[in-house]
Structure 1
Amino acid sequence: MVVGSRWFASTDLQVFDGIAYLHSIDIVHRDLKPENLLMVGRDESDPSYMQIKIADFGLSAMKANAKSDEEWSKEMREFCGTQDYLAPEVFKIAALGKKAGNLQYDAKVDVWSVGVIYYIMLCGYPPFYSEDNDMLKMIQQIMHAKFKFHSPKWDSVSSDSKDFIMKCLTVDTSKRPSAAECMKDPLFANNHVFSEQALDVKDDLREFLSKRRKKVLGAVKAIARMETIANFKFFRDPKDPTQREAERLFRTIDSLGNSNGFLELYEVILYIQEYMQHMFYKKNSMGDNVVDEKKLKDFASNLRNLVDTNKDGAISLEEFVQGFVTWKHFIEEQEKAS
C-alpha cells in the first residue's frame, strides 16, 4: 500500500468530519494530536483499515454540561491541551490572565490542531519547534504562525495541501475556516489529483517521537536527581540576565499580594492559580475539569519550603533569585547530559 498524499488527505477528511459533528453539538475536543487518532483495522486488506476514530475526550468542553453561559465562557478560557498542537489564542488568553476579561476561544482551536497533525503526517516533524527545546521560542512561533515547507521534504507535496495547512494555521480566527468549511476545501474534492509518490516520513516521525519521549524522560530524571542542585555555587550579580529575569518574576508574584518585598505562601498560590492551574486539573463526579486545590496548595507549599532557605516562612528576593538561577543551571546541565 502506497502511503502518500491521497492516504493522508483521506485520513484528515475523516477527522474533520468527526470534529464538524462534535462542533455542531457544541463539543470542542481541545486535545487533538496523532496519539488521539485511532485506526479501526490492523490489516491493510480490511476496509476498516482506513477508518479513523477520534479518542480521549478527557479535556473536551461540552456545552451541555455547563450550568450557565458564564460557566461555558469560563471553560472556553481554560488553558489545556498539548502545547505543540495548541492554537495561538489559547496561549494569548492564558498570558493575559485576568486582563483577558470575556475573551474566549472557540471550536476553531480544533481546526488549528488538525492543521498541525496534517503537517506532521506529510513530513514527519512538527511545524513549530525549537532546536534547543526552548518552550518560549516555540510559543512565539505558534503565536505568529511562523513555519516553513522545507525543501526537499515538501517538494513533492501538492500546493493544495500546503494551502490547506496555511488556512488551518491562520492566527486570525475570523479568517481560519471552521471544520465544516474545511471539508469543502478543494483538497478533498473527488476530482483532486494527488501525487502517487510515497512520502518517506517514517524515519522523521520516529525521530520526532523519540525526541518527545526524551523530553518527558528528561523531566522525570530531573525530578529524581534534584540533589545535584546542592553542588551549584551561586554568586549574586545584579547585571546577570537570568538574575534580572528572576527579579522581574519575583515582583510579578509579589504584586499579586501586598508587594512587601517578600513572597508569602498565598502569593505563590495565587500565581500558580493564575498561570499554572491546568497542571492540577481533575475530573469531578460530573466529568468536568476542576482544580484539585489540595494538590495545588501542597505543590505551592513544597515550592515555598524548597526556596525558603532560612525557613522563616517567606521567600526574600535573594532567596528567590538564588533558587531561580540554581534551577535554571540544573535544567541546562540536564539538557547537556541528555
Structure 2
Amino acid sequence: MNLLVLKLIAQRIALGILLLFLVSILIFAGTQILPGDVAQSILGQGATDQALANLRREMGLDDPAVTRYFNWLGGILQGDMGTALSNNRDIASSLWGRAQNTLFLAFWTALVAVPLAIILGLVAVRYQNRWPDRAISGTTLTAISLPEFFVGYVLMYFFAVKLGWFPSVSTVYDGMPFADRMMAIALPAATLTLIILAHMMRMTRAAILNVMQSAYVETAELKGLGGLKIIWRHAFPNSVAPVVNVVMLNLAFLVVGVVVIEVIFVYPGLGQYLIDHVAKRDVPVVQAVGLIFAAVYIGLNMVADIVSILANPRLRHPK
C-alpha cells in the first residue's frame, strides 16, 4: 500500500469525521424544534408554571442552545450519552441491549440477502433478455416499488395470522433460546430481505453488464470461454467496486432504516426505542439514537469508498 493510497484513505476518514460533526449539529438543531414540552410530559397537564420552570432548570433546558450542544458533544466524545429525561435512566446502558437486537436482525438479514442478491444478479446477466432475467427483474422491480410497511403487513397477514407459522409480534429477551429468537425475527428479516434484495440485485446486474462491454471480455469470448466462466472469472471481479458500494449502502439501511419494520413488528431495537422517546419528547435519547444511526451510515459509506479505492486502480490515479 503506497503513500497515495494512505493519503486517499486518510482524506476519506477525515471527511467522514467532518460530515459526522455537521450531522451532529443538524440532529441537535432538529431536536430543538420538536413540538411539545418534556417537562409538561413528565409532570402532566395539571403542573403549575413554577413547577414546570423548576424542572426545566434542573434538566438544563434553560441554558443557551450553544452551551447545551457543546455539553452534549463533549459528553459523547467521553462516552457519556447522557440521561433520559423521561425515566432518568442512563442512555448508553439502555441503548446497548437495543443495539444488540438491531444488529442481530441486520446480521441475519444481510447473511441471506447479500449472497442471494449477487447470485440472482449473476443469473440475470447469464440469461440476459431471456425469461430468467425477465422473471428476476420483474419480481425485484415489484418488490422495490412497494412500501416496506405494506410488505411487512402482507407477510404478517399470510404467515402469522392465516398460516400461524411465525409470531406476528417479534418479542425477544435476554437468555432467549436461539431457535426461538430466530423464529421471532423471521418476518421482520424476510421483510427487510425483500426490500434490500431488489436494489442490490439490480445494481449488481447493471455493474456486471457494464463490465461485459469491455474489450477483455470480448477477447475471452473469442477464446471460446463459456458465458458463466466469463462472468465469474472476468466480469464479476472487475465490477466489485460498484457492487461493494451498493452492498454497503444497503447494510447501512439495514441498521438505519429498520425503524418502520421494528415498529410494525414491535421489535425491541433501536428504531422502536427511538419512536417511543420521540413521543415523549425525550431529546437526549433522540439525539443519541440519531447520532448512532448517522455514524453507522457514514461509517459504512466510508468503508465502501475505501474498498473502491483499493479495488479500482483508476480511483487512485484520477488524472
Q: Do Structure 1 and Structure 2 share a fold, with TM-score over 0.5?
A: no
**TM-score under structure 2 normalisation?**
0.27
Higher strand share: 1
Structure showing greater radius of gyration is 2
Which one has more relative contact order, counting CA pairs under 8 Å at least 6 apart?
2
Tell me which protein shows more helix as a share of its residues: 2
TM-score by length of 1: 0.26
